[in-house]
Structure 1
């Protein structure tokens, strides 16, 4: 029986399932793929929003839960990117340089965090949250049209800027910390000060 305390982790794992399902559906080129893909992507985004909110409301937003949330987010969006590549390979070939650069910046945040703290990135910064919404919109456009110019370019540049911010946060922090909204908050933590976190948006 699903209790409220188990709801956040259930939402997290449901997002993982959505990602794996969409890759399989993309491989088999099912009928109404676009509708199903956008629906699962939207449901996944909602679970990403509400798992943290519910966990914080119930005071069960632990470090382990936040780390799991971060890992599953990566798998979820990567799965949809792979599925979209299967459906729209020409777009990915035409934008391979930008995608490689973006993936390089993304990978650098994880490599730096692991080298410094032996843990994965889980800053959940405000900038990263905004970029996730932009990535969602870009994926929706790609799923529907197999093409994206303005949204993709915005996603690329905002992605680069937010990855740079995450790198700066990691370099500033003295010890691994989850849910660091901005560089300003990282500086306060480095100075040994407490930071104010919003009950709805930060753990």
Structure 2
């Protein structure tokens, strides 16, 4: 059984050097690319929503229409030095309930604690880690953060990894997915990576 305090990250490299605002705008751009194909799609950066129990500031608010109904997604961006804990995911779940939103997504530059992944899985919240793009390329060992010279030119500087919890031989296991890819590894084998890079991988959350 994996404890709540186990730290899970898709990359062995230092987190991307982005300011909080740069990180939020990167996430917005990643969502806007596939979102532009949706009917009445609209995204807002740092907006406030009123609920019966107070006012909530949302990093990225997404609205779109599908099947004749309006959908609302709340996106939070965590530019932390430490993996995101369960309490942050629970706080987002509380916002979803208070605001009547339909989906929650968290983007982090520092991975997640296993308790956060487990809680998110149970409540339908998507967790994405934005990592150094070299994490998508299979290497026996990570090189210096400043050394890109031995990697293919098509490796993107940033990569999005979707973290999910699945049953594996009767015990919970956390798998890393490159967006639109198959499962490529579990918590005990973090060296397995896809060798393909996608300039703008669609987010299927």
Q: What TM-score do the two structures reach when normalised by structure 2?
A: 0.27
Kindly indicate which of the two structures has a greater share of residues assigned to helix: 1
More strand by share: 2
